[in-house]
Amino acid sequence: MTRTDPALIAFLEEQRADYTRSLPRRLEQVGLLWQQILRGEDLAQALPTLERHAHSLAGSAATFGWAELGLAAQALEFALGPHVGTEQALAPEAQAEVGRAVEQLQQRFHGAA
């Protein structure tokens, strides 16, 4: 039988708490970038930055106990992928798809928080 180190457990719990505390700010950044994209402002930077935020959340969320949030972030990342590097406003269908993904991401956080 393996003994669990209480110091390790405490460290991991603190890491999870730190991650959870960072989520409101990270999701606020997602929302601000999405609004910037909707306004058509600096798409060359906003689209890849939003994709990076989604990618980061998709990769880290499940590790810290936010699996559903991670799946929603992955969906956002995939929705953005074809549009990164185009520097063009999103077509209405793409805008609707990405908008739904942003909304789902926000809902996964607020529903679980």
Side-chain half-sphere exposure of 40, counting CA atoms within 13 A: 5
Which residue segments constitute the domains of the chain, with CATH numbers given?
Answer: 6-112 (1.20.120)
d(CA 30, CA 10): 30
pLDDT tens digits for 10-36? 999 999 999 999 999 999 999 999 999
pLDDT tens digits for 45-99? 999 999 999 999 999 999 999 999 999 999 999 999 999 988 889 999 999 999 9
In this structure, what are the phi and psi dihedrals at residue 89, rounded to the nearest 5 degrees?
-60, 145
d(CA 70, CA 92): 25
| Mean local confidence (pLDDT), 90-113 | 92
Tell me which residue of 80, 76, 82 sits closest to 101, measured CA to CA: 76
d(CA 113, CA 105): 12
pLDDT tens digits for 84-101? 988 889 999 999 999 999
